[in-house]
Amino acid sequence: MMRSLFAALILLPLMAWAAPEYGTVERDHIRAELVAETAAIEPGQSFRAGLRLEPDENWHTYWINPGDSGLPTQLDWDLPDGVVAGEIEWAWPEALQMGHLVNYGYKDEHLLPVQIDTPDTLEPGDTLTLVVDAAWLVCEEICIPGDAKLALDIDVVAGNGPRASEHADLFADTLGRVPERVEWTTRFNTDGGSLSVQVVPENVGLDRDWSFFAINENLVEHAEAPSVLAEDGQVLISQPLSAYFSRAPEQLDFVLVDHDGARAWRLSAEPGELLSAGMLAEGSTPGWALALILALAGGVLLNLMPCVFPVLSIKAMSLVSGAGHDQRAHGLAYTAGVLVSFAVLAGVLLALRAGGEAVGWGFQLQSAWFVALLVYILFALGLSLSGLFDFGTRLMGIGQGLTEKGGSKGSFFTGVLACVVASPCTAPFMGAALGAAVFMPWPLAMTVFLALGLGLALPMLVLSFSPALARRLPRPGPWMDTFKQAMAFPLYLAVVWLLWVLARQTDPTGLAMVLSGMVALAFVLWLAGRESRSESLVVARHAAVGLSLIFVVSTLFSADHFGGGEGATVENAHWENYSAETLAEWRDDPERAVLVNMTADWCITCLVNERVALNTPAVRDTMAEHDVVYLKGDWTRRDPDITEYLSKYDRNGVPLYVLYPRNGDDPRVLPQVLTPQLVIQALERS
């Protein structure tokens, strides 16, 4: 046996010189033949030829990714000038269990088809001779390498189309199982010890018998069958990484098979963060054009938000009463202000993203001082509308400066202000859509953000360019004062909402500092807005204004300084707050499994996962039933303990879900995209 193999290897180079064989050749445990789908071709016609292999019963050859052992079959063509052979078009394989290993390959008769292109210079009456050096590995328990130099003659004829060969059926059958190349939305990542792939199939029902084959070698543990889950318009695949996995590939090539429809598709996925099922279902991965339109419409809608509407409606009123000819200049300056602010914000966001920061839209709300600043701005605007002081004349010259001598500079800053006051509203209402934009290449993403800004600026821009429309607005009059004062109340509500956000980021002391800052701010504005009656009072007033302002500014930073408190305690919560000690304590209890959820308020994937999976009654019941301890770590503010925990699992961002089984076994990392069934199954096995 061994000697014959040595002999075969020594003879290998010699065999390359041997004459090619026609028809079926017999090798150890396999028969091989070069075949074509047509018996004759016309000059210039493309057709398919292929290697037909027929292993003995229970023997097999290998697919393009052979799996844990083996080698794919190779073809090396020797063709006349101008005749070109393509790559092998691999039909989807069978997963072949070999002990504790899994290979991908083909049993029984099979064909490896290849497209052959011929030149127009062929003459009818010629014979086209195809020659191929084929090398394969045929295995049962043991493996035997084989090769053959095979030839096939094809007649070149004129007219009358192709003539099917006796192998036409084999070609038709095999080509029906060759995956079609498609460009569906798909992503993959290799975080947490598993390959996770997300696919959004087009024009295919989801309730199918799916299977998944990775083409990249050395990526997944072939012996552990992939789990394929179809839900909410997408197919989710998860397969443990190979013990020999070293680094994530730049591209994942894979085959998705629908066994019910006997069809398959070949896809290439880029690495990326997986989007939550809910987000995909809401259609938030629209194409770029659709994202632009949605952003524009969203921007227009923002004008009606409680934080924006009061400011802009007053601005619109003043526009109406302003001088006609420079209205357009004001409209343009305002639009420029909005767009520049959005560009700056989006630029910072995209730069942080590119730098690997785990931030999403609304990241600016992550800093307590920024939230506090927004509180002060909205509160001051509210006080101004309530009539405590006149924003336009006294301070800053922004706001409704048009009727004064503010000029277009004033309008520009009104635009900036509109963007600033709009930002707390964009986060909750536009988060998902803008989240999708973050995954686009940055120039496209930037256009989506600018479209949002343009939408915000649009109503005012239209008003300033259309005197006819502006005339339709109610004429200014004494009612405007009442309207202004009424508009203060939505602003106060927006302030309340921001204080609630702030309360989650800081502790009671920090919150108290910001609240007293608000009182000081009101005091400053009240004092600054008063007419003075004597010289000495002017000095005292300026001193008081100055001191109070210093206090207001210092409270801004104290909000951040006092932060890092307990985090929110929610009534009726089914989780405990994470700490390393709590985790260690529960891990010591052999009766309890522990689920750790690392999350953050600004992480949209986290929130969607909680909404669609972790907080559903079914999952809560399962947790209760199985006595699972649910620990939640909040990374809304950077927390070194949680950062350290994340780094233990090679993460630099959230979400991260880790399940510790009750028997003290190694923890298991759940996928980044959760479904209720997935969580329940995992919990039941913990």
Partner 1 sequence: MSYRMMQVLAASLLLALSTALMAAPEVGQPAPDFTLTDTQGNEHSLSDFRGQTVILEWTNHDCPFVIKHYQPGNMQDQQRLARNEHDAVWLSIISSRPGTQGHVSPEEADELTASRDAYPTAVLIDESGDVGRAYDARVTPHMYIIDAEGILRYMGGIDSNPSRNPEDIPDATQYVVVALEQMAAGEEIAEAVTRPYGCSVHY
Q: Which residues bind partner 1 (CB under 8 A)?
A: 1-2, 5-6, 9, 12-13, 68-69, 71, 98-101, 103, 135, 137, 139, 141-145, 207, 209, 217-218, 221, 223-231, 238, 240, 243-246, 661, 665-666, 668, 675, 677-678, 681-682, 685
The SS3 call for residue 525 is helix
**Can you tell me whether residue 563 is helix, strand or coil?**
coil
| Beta carbon of residue 649, minimum distance to partner 1 (angstroms, whole number) | 15
- CB 665 → partner 1: shortest distance, Å? 7
Q: Among 49, 136, 147, 58, which Cα is nearest to 97's? A: 58
The tokens for 357 are 């920061």
> CB 642 → partner 1: shortest distance, Å?
25
| Secondary structure (3-state) at 140 | coil
Q: Which residues does 250 contact at the CB level (< 8 Å), separation at least 6? A: 271
Give the contacts of 590 (CB within 8 A, at least 6 positions apart).
Answer: 662, 663, 664
Closest approach, Cβ 386 to partner 1, in A, equals 55
CB of 55 to partner 1, least distance (A): 16
Q: How far is the CB of 189 from partner 1 (least distance, A)?
A: 17
Report the alpha-carbon distance of residue 510 to residue 564 in Å, rounded: 10
The smaller minimum CB distance to partner 1, of residues 99 and 356, is found at 99
Helix, strand or coil, per DSSP, at residue 354: helix
Q: 239 is written with which tokens?
A: 């397969």
154 or 619: CB nearest partner 1: 619
What tokens does 506 get?
């800081």
Could you tell me where the DSSP H helices lie in 29-128?
A: none
Name the region of 108 (left: φ>0; alpha: ψ -120 to 50; beta: rest): left
Task: Kindly report the three-state secondary structure assignment for every residue of 67-84.
Answer: ECCCCECEEEEECCCCCE
Contact in structure between 608 and 279 (CB atoms under 8 Å): yes
Count how many residues are written for the chain: 686
* Contact (CB, 8 A) for 278 and 424: no
Query: SS3 for 95?
Result: strand
Smaller CB separation from partner 1, 298 or 676: 676
We find the least distance from the C-beta atom of residue 228 to partner 1, in angstroms, to be 7
Interstrand relation of 47-55 and 94-98 (parallel, antiparallel or unpaired): unpaired
Smallest distance from the beta carbon of 92 to partner 1, in angstroms?
Answer: 17
Q: What angle do CA 168, 171, 174 make, to 5 degrees?
A: 150
User: Closest separation between CB of residue 675 and partner 1, Å?
Assistant: 8
